[in-house]
Amino acid sequence: MDPLPIIFTVVLLAGGLYWFVFLLGSAEQKGKHAVHLTGGSIHHSNVKETYNQYWFFFRRPKHIEESENVPAFVDTFYNLVTDIYEWGWGQSFHFSPAIKGKSNLESTKIHEQMAVDLIGVKAGQKILDAGCGVGGPMRAIVSHSGCNVTGITINEYQVNRAKAHNKKAGLSHLCDVVCGNFLNMPFEDETFNGAYSIEATCHAPKLEDVYSEIFRVLKPGAMYVSYEWVTTELFNGEDPEHVEVIQGIERGDALPGLRNYSDIADVAKKVGFEVVKEKDLAKPPAGPWWSRLKMGRIAYWRNHVVVTVLEAIGVAPKGTVDVHEMLFKTADYLTRGGESGIFTPMHMILCRKPEKVQES
């Protein structure tokens, strides 16, 4: 028998397998490949059980009311999803309005740069990123502004990922990353010249607790901007479909209950901020932020096969398929929330800490 066709077939199959497993579907900003999916800081053998615990907690609104447990479950959530986000999404874990003629990556960067432009800081000043993920926004912001950014995240695995990315990008001298709870931050009063949070404070059971901490660590006169996940004026709590969509978003994104857009400024004022501006950045003429999720649906089936194979052969931990499935279902709820206009992940609020803080 002629060995040539056999060799040719084997080479073709091996090449195809390499492409399918190592290259396919890796994030735009090559952070992770499918073969490197882990459960963050959770041991390989405990991922499935930990996922079940997470799901049990966030499925039951009564337990979510036990707000002191929320940061621990948010930490668990980010152990479970961080690699999958990096694989499928990139290093910035947030949405941005679609901009005609710009890639997702470019639109993401513009959205991040806008945050630092809004707080009007100068190169060399010290700013805080409350809920920094693996630092995609931080790196875009230091490159754009020349500021020093300190990020805080509850998730240790993200701290390590962020530090590795900062080093690789040659930005470690401008970026610091700390593991901690933004409801009780390990920083002195009046440390920062400015602060921002991108799609992170929605994880706080009480917005007041995180806003008051940010207020405390800002210097007088400093500005803070936040992109908040909220329900909009179109949300009707009596409409079962609206309720289903919002609960679907909460459960699949580790949220202890979404707030309405109208509550945000009241909380900011209550902790002492002056509210400078508020705007839903998702409103037209902004392009739909959820279009990225729709394109992701096609990729989902392809990625689902990859994840299933990797879990079956023991490369990805057991439970990875469940987490992937949960994120896919949540993407559907997010899309429905965006299309119906009842939800936005980019209600922007810009605040200033007064020069003279009122004594209460």
Residues forming contacts to ligand SAM in the complex (CB under 6 A) are 71, 74, 78, 92-94, 131-133, 136-137, 152-155, 158, 181-183, 198-200, 203
Nearer to ligand SAM, 92 or 193 (CB): 92
d(CA 297, CA 303): 10
Closest approach, Cβ 213 to ligand SAM, in A, equals 9
In terms of CB distance, is 35 or 72 closer to ligand SAM? 72
Match 């890796």 to its residue by tokens.
26
3-state secondary structure 12-38: HHHHHHHHHHHHCCCCCCCCCCHHHCC
At its nearest, how many Å lie between ligand SAM and the CB of residue 212?
Answer: 13
Q: Kindly tell me which of 104 and 306 has the beta carbon lying closer to ligand SAM.
A: 104
Q: What angle do CA 139, 143, 149 make, to 5 degrees?
A: 55
Kindly report each contact of residues 33-38 with a partner whose C-beta sits within 8 Å and lies 24 or more positions away, as own/partner.
33/87, 34/87, 34/303, 34/306, 34/307, 34/310, 34/316, 35/310, 35/315, 35/316, 36/83, 36/87, 37/83, 37/84, 37/87, 37/307, 37/310, 37/316, 37/317, 37/320, 38/83, 38/316, 38/317
- The nearer residue to ligand SAM, 70 or 306, going by C-beta atoms, is 70
Q: Which of 194, 187, 262 is nearest to 223 (CA)?
A: 194
Tokens matching residue 193: 């010249």
> Which is nearer to ligand SAM, 202 or 306 (by Cβ)?
202
Least separation in angstroms between residue 155's CB and ligand SAM is 4
CB of 344 to ligand SAM, least distance (A): 14
314 dihedral zone (left: phi>0; alpha: psi -120 to 50; beta): left
Longest CA–CA span in the chain (Å) reads: 91
Q: Which is nearer to ligand SAM, 26 or 181 (CB)?
A: 181
Identify which of residues 198 and 351 has a Cβ nearer to ligand SAM in the complex.
Answer: 198
Decide the pairing of beta strands 218-231 and 343-352: antiparallel
- Type of residue found at 168: K
Shortest spacing between CB 207 and ligand SAM, in angstroms: 12
Q: Cβ of residue 138: shortest distance to ligand SAM, in angstroms?
A: 8
Query: In the bound complex, what is the minimum distance in angstroms from residue 77's beta carbon to ligand SAM?
Result: 8
Question: What minimum distance in Å lies between the beta carbon of 263 and ligand SAM?
Answer: 18
Contact 175, 139 (CB under 8 A): yes
Work out how close the CB of 88 gets to ligand SAM at its nearest, in angstroms, rounded to a whole number: 14
Pick 129 or 322: Cβ nearer ligand SAM: 129
Nearer to ligand SAM, 129 or 311 (CB): 129
Question: Closest approach of Cβ 355 to ligand SAM, in Å?
Answer: 28
- State which residue, 256 or 306, has the beta carbon closest to ligand SAM: 256
